[in-house]
Amino acid sequence: MRLLLISICCLVLITGCSSLPKDALQTTEQSSQAHMFLEKGHQYYHSSQYKKAAASLNKALSLGASVDDELTVARALSSLGRVHLATGEIPQAEACFQQAYQAASGVNQTELLAQTLGGLGAVQLHRNHPQEAQTYLKSALELPLENPGNTRATLLHDLGSAHRKQGDNATAESYYLQALEMHEPLRDLKGIATDCYSLALLYQDEGHLDMALQKARRALNHDKKTQKPSSIAQDLTLLGILSLSLGENDEAGDYLRRAKLAWQSLGREDQVTTINDHLQRIHSP
C-alpha cells in the first residue's frame, strides 16, 4: 500500500512539473541566475573588486530585464550605482540610481526606493552639493520602512556627512552617533566601521586627536573583520596621519608602512605617493 502511494505521488510530481509552461520554467531559471550574479556582484563590491562587481551586476541586470523582473532590475541598478560611486564615475552612478528609482517605484518597494534616494544623495555629496544631498536623504527618511535598520542608519550617516560639508560639525556628530547606535545592535560591522571612520575625521577637524585616534582604531578593527581592502587602507592612512600629528612617530611609521602596502595591492599609486610624503616627514631630521 505504501509503495502504491509513493508511486502515485511520484506520478503527480512528474506530471505537475511537465505541465509547467516553457516560458514559466525559463523565467524561473533566468531569475535564479540573475540573483546568483547579483550576489556575486555584492561579494566583489565588498572585496573592492569593482570591475568584477560591475560585470556581475550588469549580467544580473540583463537577465532580470529579459524576464521583466523589475525588482531584480532595480536592485542591480542600485548596486551598480554604488560601484560607480566607489570608482568615481559620478554621472554613471547618478544615471543608475535614477533608473533604479523608476524600477523600484513600479514594484512599490519602499526600502529600495529609500536606498536609491540615498544613492542620489550620495551622488550630490560627491559633487560637494550638501544642500541637494539633504533634500534626497530627508525624502528617503520620510518613507515608511517596514525594517528600517541598516537603510535608515546609512541615510542618517550620509545626512551627517552633508552637515559636515556645510561646517555644521555638531549636527553632523549627532547624526553619526545616531547611525552608530542603530548599526551596533544590528552587528553591522561595515556600518559601524563607516560611522567610526567619519567620527574620526570629524574629531580630527575639531582638533580632538585622541578621540579621533580611538574611533579610527575601532574602524580598522571592524573593517578587518569584513575584509574590505579599500576601507582598511583608508583606516591605516588616517591612523598614520593622526599618530604623526600626536608625535608618535614609531606608531605612525608602522601604520603608514601598512597603508602603503594596502594601497599598492589596490594599484592606487596616487595614494602611495601621498603615503611616501608622510613617511618622508618621519625620516627627515
12-29 pLDDT, tens digit per residue, is 333 344 343 444 434 578
Cβ(255)–Cβ(271) below 8 Å? no
Number of domains making up the chain: 3
For residue 203, tell me if it sits in a domain. yes
282 in the same domain as 266? yes
Cβ neighbours of 185 (radius 10 Å): 8
242 in the same domain as 212? no
For residue 53, tell me if it sits in a domain. no
Distance of CA 133 to the CA centre of its chain: 17
Question: Alpha-carbon distance 70 to 78, whole Å?
Answer: 12
- pTM equals 0.83
Question: Alpha-carbon distance 48 to 40, whole Å?
Answer: 12
CATH, residue 276: 1.25.40
Question: Alpha-carbon distance 251 to 240, whole Å?
Answer: 7
234 in the same domain as 223? no
Note the pLDDT of residue 25. 39
For residue 269, tell me if it sits in a domain. yes
216 in the same domain as 163? yes
Tens-digit pLDDT profile for residues 218-232: 999 999 999 989 999
223 in the same domain as 155? yes
Note the pLDDT of residue 282. 86
Q: What percent of the chain has pLDDT over 70?
A: 89
For residue 176, tell me if it sits in a domain. yes
240 in the same domain as 191? no
222 in the same domain as 153? yes
Residue 126: phi, psi to the nearest 5? -65, -30
213 in the same domain as 159? yes
Note the pLDDT of residue 27. 55
Separation in Å, CA 163 to CA 139, 144, 182, 183, 232: 16, 24, 19, 20, 25
> What is the chain's mean pLDDT, rounded?
89
Residue whose grid cell is 573592492: 48
Among the ranges given (62-71, 190-199, 200-209), the one the predictor scored with the smallest mean pLDDT: 62-71
255 in the same domain as 237? yes
Domain that holds residue 165: 148-227
Q: What percent of the chain has pLDDT over 90?
A: 80
For residue 222, tell me if it sits in a domain. yes
247 in the same domain as 221? no
For residue 183, tell me if it sits in a domain. yes
pLDDT of 80 over the 80 cut = yes
Note the pLDDT of residue 48. 85
For residue 187, tell me if it sits in a domain. yes
**How many CA atoms within 13 Å lie on the side-chain side of 122?**
29
For residue 216, tell me if it sits in a domain. yes
115 in the same domain as 158? no
Q: Which of 179, 209, 227 is the last residue of a domain?
A: 227
Note the pLDDT of residue 285. 53
Cβ(215)–Cβ(180) below 8 Å? no
With helix as H, strand as E and coil as C, how does the chain read? CHHHHHHHHHHHHHHHHHCCCHHHHHHHHHHHHHHHHHHHHHHHHHCCCHHHHHHHHHHHHHHHHHCCCHHHHHHHHHHHHHHHHHCCCHHHHHHHHHHHHHHHHHCCCHHHHHHHHHHHHHHHHHCCCHHHHHHHHHHHHCCCCCCCHHHHHHHHHHHHHHHHHCCCHHHHHHHHHHHHHHHHHHCCHHHHHHHHHHHHHHHHHHCCHHHHHHHHHHHHHHHHHHCCHHHHHHHHHHHHHHHHHCCCHHHHHHHHHHHHHHHHHCCCHHHHHHHHHHHHHHHCC
221 in the same domain as 156? yes
pLDDT of 276 over the 50 cut = yes
Give me the amino acid identity at 101: Y
CATH, residue 193: 1.25.40.10
Q: What residues contact residue 19 under an 8 Å CB cut-off, 6+ apart?
A: none
Q: What is the CA radius of gyration of the chain?
A: 23
